[in-house]
Structure 1
Amino acid sequence: MTKLLLLLLSGAKLSKLLLSGGTMLLSVLLYAWVYGWRYAVGFVALMFVHEMGHFIAARQKGLDVGLPTFIPFVGAWVELKHMPHDAQTEAYIGLGGPLLGTVGATVCYLLARSWNLDWLLAVSYAGFFLNLFNLIPLSPFDGGRITAVLSPRIWFAGVPVLVGLFLYRPSPMLLLIALMA
């Protein structure tokens, strides 16, 4: 009976891994259809790095957190099983994604410049933009979680930033990245 229980529990963990990996693969396939496979793999990898920043930060604060789930052309997230008890923890977790994501985009940028790879340079720019966009001080973006430690009133500053982003010559790529945040 114990062996059956352990098998079921390991299957549950395997199913979570398959869900995360499956949604990641689906995202790569759909992005590749639009942008090519190299860009798709790089972009989804940077989204994964960003989400792992939240994952690591949540684990450091002792919170139970699930693996990233991806929805193509919408974004990705990690599910917190228990919400943070204070604004400081919320801000710490919110900052983890943009910090690690920016490190990942910087590595892509340096490799792209060293190896003269235009597609990797495009991936790095998209990664920088994705992390910067996520810092808009408006809920549910990471910036909204981070600024909540000061005051949720700061979210009102995020509205004109978001509106201005869409009104100032929005390109299709900009709109796509904005939807994925």
Structure 2
Amino acid sequence: MKDTLRREIEKFAMVYHVEESGDTVRFYVQPIDFEGLKTFLENLTMDYDVKVQFKFGEFVIELKKHRERIWINLALLIATFASTTIMGAGMFERFDLVGGLTYSVAIMFVLGFHEMGHYIFARRWGMKTSLPYFIPFPSLIGTLGAVIRHRGRIPSRKALFDVGVSGPLFGIFASILVTYVGLKMKFEPTYKGEATLMLGTPPLFDLIAKLAGFNGYYIHPVAFAGWVGMFVTFLNLIPVGQLDGGHVLRAMIGERAEIVYRIIPMILIALGIVTNSSIWLFWGFITMFFAMQKHPKPMVDEPIDLKRYAVGILTFALGLSCFTPNPFVVTKG
């Protein structure tokens, strides 16, 4: 490994010293072609953990063969299943472990299906990506969602589009399915004199409720999991930076997307002020941070085809159908 890497690095830099410690190799170099070296190291990130340092006047490249630790994914999956089950069980009038399990399966199916969409299409494009990392958290939902990690450069705008759009589309499908099933499940609690969480329902949720023939007041926690999926889908499709919507927009309109990235946070902050909603104020400031980070440029930065443009427009339209101006309202009985 060391000799092969040295020969490749020497195409862009003079290597005057090499250190090897376990599975880590350090190359002390004098760069000749900075841009070529940068591109080479970016490509190496698919298979190596790359660290570049400039210390004591020396330019040091540290490479370590990347190894996936599947046990971390498994441990987080189990922990998230436990946290969502406990929080789900608490959604019933009496702590209901079986009910909590049904909610947990529903919410993890919705979130996991979203991430698997990214995973499948990333693999199809030959991109290195991890399995989903679920994030346990003792909140109302029981989790902060799930993420996957991509390694290496983005091959093209087509690849960027396919990977970016697949997660929301898979997530919307899962959310529709779970919402319909949940609205068909009987749930008639009696919350007398207690605080109740009222949900603002987006147009897509209302449509499914009509199709399911739902005319009740309370929804089953499984239907709530579907609602969460729609809410998360809308947030992911906000067209800014490293969010899915940011990836899709960058693939559709190229570097002009950076202009949109800077406008969206202002719109969200204005929405938060108009609706008196701290959620949109929070997301306004979060997306402002994302907008400061320039989107990575694909290796082949050529326009996508018309079919993908159509899918992109449809996806953003579906995302808007998941929007509600006031997601949460707490009322007292």
TM-score category of the 2 structures, normalised to the smaller one: 0.7 to 0.9
The structure that has the greater radius of gyration is 2
More displaced, 35-44 or 133-142? 35-44
Residues 50 and 169 from structure 1, CA distance in 2 versus in 1: closer, same or farther, beyond 3 angstroms? farther
Partner of 1:68: 132
Confirm whether residue 51 of structure 1 aligns to residue 115 of structure 2: yes
How much has 1:91 moved relative to structure 2? 2.1
Q: CA deviation at 1:99?
A: 0.4
CA displacement 1:72-111 (0-9 Å, x = unmatched): 3443211112231223321221111100011001111221
In structure 2, the residue corresponding to 1:148 is in which secondary structure? helix
Q: Does 1:157 align with 2:263?
A: yes
| Residue 19, structure 1, aligned to residue 72, structure 2 | yes
Answer 1 or 2: higher relative contact order, Cα 8 Å, separation at least 6: 1
- Is contact 1:136–1:161 with CA below 8 Å preserved after alignment? no
* Residue number among 118, 124, 132 corresponding to 2:226 in the alignment: 124
* CA deviation vs aligned residue, 1:31-72 (integer Å, no higher than 9, x gap): 334343233332222111110010011112121221011223
Give the aligned partner of residue 86 of structure 1.
156
Distance 1:25 1:164 in 2: 39
1:169 Cα shift?
4.4
Which has the larger displacement, 23-32 or 33-42? 33-42
| Structure 2 portions without partners, runs of 5+ | 1-66, 90-99, 138-143, 188-219, 287-333
In proportion to residue count, which structure has more strand? 2
8 Å CA contact 1:137–1:155 kept in 2: the answer is: yes
Matched residue SS, 2:184: helix
Counterpart in 2 of 1:29?
A: 82
Q: Secondary structure at the match of 1:140?
A: coil
C-alpha spacing 1:170/1:96, structure 2 compared with 1 (3 Å)? same
Q: Percent identity?
A: 22
CA distance in 2 between partners of 1:97 and 1:106 (Å) = 14
- 1:9 aligned partner: none
Relative distance call for 1:95 and 1:81 in structure 2 (3 A) is same
Give the distance between the partners of 2:156 and 2:78, measured in 1 at CA: 35
> What is the CA RMSD across the aligned residues, in angstroms?
2.6
- 2:235 aligned to which of 133, 153, 156: 133
**Per-residue CA distance 1:113-145 (angstroms, 9 max, x = gap):** 334461111111111111111000112211111
* Alignment CA distance shift 1:49-1:164 (3 Å): farther
Query: Is the 8 Å Cα contact of residues 136 and 162 (structure 1) preserved in structure 2?
Result: no
TM-score normalised to the size of structure 1? 0.75
Rounded Cα–Cα distance in structure 2 between residues aligned with 1:171 and 1:34: 23
Partners of 2:88 and 2:221 within 8 A in 1: no
**Alignment match of 1:144 (pick from 223, 234, 246):** 246
* TM-score, normalised with respect to structure 2: 0.43
Secondary structure in 1 aligned to 2:150? coil
Q: How many residues align?
A: 161
Any unmatched runs of 5+ in structure 1? 1-11
In 2: Cα distance, 1:35 partner to 1:163 partner: 31
Q: 1:53 to 1:109 in 2, by over 3 A?
A: same
